[in-house]
Structure 1
Amino acid sequence: MSDSDKTPSVKLPDARDISRTSFTPHGINRGKGSLKRPANKAELRKQRIKQTGVGLLVVAIIAGVAGGAWALTRPEQNFTVTGAFGKDPKISWPEVAPYTKGKTEKLITGSGDALKEGDTAFIHFETYQWTGAKEHEEKSSSYAEGAATTLPVGGEGSGFKRLDDAVKTAKVGDRYLLTIPVSELGDTAEQTDLKKTDNVVFVLDVVSKQYEITGTQAEQTDAALPKVTPNKDKIGDAPTVEIPKVDPPKELVVKTLIEGTGPVTKSGQTLVTNYAGKIWRDGKEFDSSWANGAPANFPIGVGQVISGWDQALVGAKVGSRLLLVIPSESGYPDGNESAGIKKGDTLVFVVDVLGAA
């Protein structure tokens, strides 16, 4: 994410400028070297507002619904949207002028969890600027960017009231078509390059929600493995990890400490996690999303992170907390100097799987 305070040249929501609640975690990234991280949640929020220009705080999950076509026929319109849920949609446009009144159309009714105030929705979206009967331009697509984004349910929301209202009443698996005249944007319109007669058009898929870590942690009886103690105030906050003074195991160890209630993760998805990593040798914490103030997101099962993560996290249930002990050959066989990891070091992670898309 750029630190520039300048208004972006494309002032409609741009998936490249939309935050994905993420930093690149150097403890699991395959490459070497130090990486920049955001300072804290408040600063992240300020950066998102500045960069989107319209205050679209769309931040990283799972639904499999067969594709189809939905014809929305009224005297003044005839939109047709085709394409599988969660995949890049195709729109047939009505040859009419943009609307003077906004519309919210539910194209698919999902069967997943209903969203509620305080949740974080994971969405795919595509936006268009609609300027005339035969004039419309795609401005942004999270489908094309290859990663779902997230949107807080309630609170500050996105800056688009019609979008926020749709998500407030949505279920995972819903698809919407939203047409939003400039007149609905209020002060936000002044920050865009829209003309007074234009519409913003969204196709929106609610692919998942972010799960909290809840429940009782399983008892740990193996004294040869690290002991994880939950935060006494809130179980989803950073736990304490104590590494025993014994030799580490030679094989990959994956222990489910808390089993989530969400869907099972699949190879190729983007995971959203909180995690902390330590070095077995000296107990040093070399990386932590909790300490850095924001969950991390990354593709899983496709060789973009250390192999121990690819092996351990594909097939985990969203909402789970896992203990991972990763031998050197599944982590950093040659070490990672910037993280203080030496050749041959065994790594220990506690990972909370918050979402997947």
Structure 2
Amino acid sequence: MSHIFKNNTFAVVDLETTGTSRSDNNHIIQFGCAIVKNMEVVKTYSFMINPHREIPLSVQNLTGISNDDVANEKDFSYYAPKIIEILKDTVFVAHNVEFDFPFLNYELMQHGYESLTNKAIDTVELTKIAFPTLPSYKLSDLTSRLKIKHLNPHKADSDAYGTAVLLIDDIKRLEQLPQATLNTLSSLSHGLVRDTSWIFTEIADTLRKTKRPLPKEYMQVRNIILQKQTHNVASNGEDHKFPIENTAKRKLFKGKINYRKAQVELIDHIHDFVMNPNERAMLVESPNGTGKTFSYLFSYAYQLYSSRKLVISTPTKVLQDQILTREIPQMLKITHLDLTAEVVKASSHYLDLDGFVQSLFQSSPNKPTLVLQMQILV
């Protein structure tokens, strides 16, 4: 893989500026750039630039760049030809490209140069789609979560390097997706910012020429690739017989939980009820802390090897969590049964796949919806 962009040079740019609004007498105070060739960072640049105005305190706090740092530096007119040369014939990349690209072009035009016409890619959208389950897409959060080392967050050279490694991670991740997913992403991607769609179409079109079988853990339904569901079937429970004798129960409990006579009586009552097909219902009342939950789990567990399931309904989420994280693991540890437990969610927790597929072919949605659709596909 990763030969898809072998003929492309990416210039990953990060600017530090005196403020976010271009027209408000705001200027670039640092230009950082990392050059990526063949999916490797091959060179970095960092220019400190004199903006000929005060740097607001909030910007100094964020970037660590003070007025003294830039007072003796050259101004933008000196660096403009160098920047143009560095970016010549490259694909422009930034984390939030709609800030860096127009800001740089504004500065260039203010100094009498033509604005850049490079392809421009946004790593915010790219990363949201490549890694759809991350909790945050702030650059500092991404670099720590994806273990990208860069030394000075909010310094342009360090942020450019971090973004360059992020771009490489994004592309490698997208290259691993099944072809049908790439095809759909490619067709949806035209609504993304600037030329970000170009990454998706290049990967999809290039990999379409190679024969890639669908990995066995996936299945294709129409043009959607789904993860196959794994069904855990309990193994044969021949060795797992309910311990009728109290001595057998004592042996199982030893060193794990206290042997309590009242609890064992409850376990036996429930076992008798489960084993008697003529019994329709049983009502149990016992005080808090007597181990009711463990008692019924223990009694029922031995009956689950005949493809039966036990459904437990709880009145509160707290009790549900307690059963799942504490009671069931304890019961399995004591009984040595190889059973599994799952939380059953209401239908509102699930995606209607038919509705989702239809939504992909409707008129172009707004930007957040488009990105969400692409995230769900991945």
For the aligned pair, the TM-score class normalised by the smaller chain equals under 0.3
Looking at secondary structure, tell me which structure has more strand per residue: 1
TM-score of the superposed pair, with normalisation by structure 1: 0.23
TM-score (norm 2): 0.22
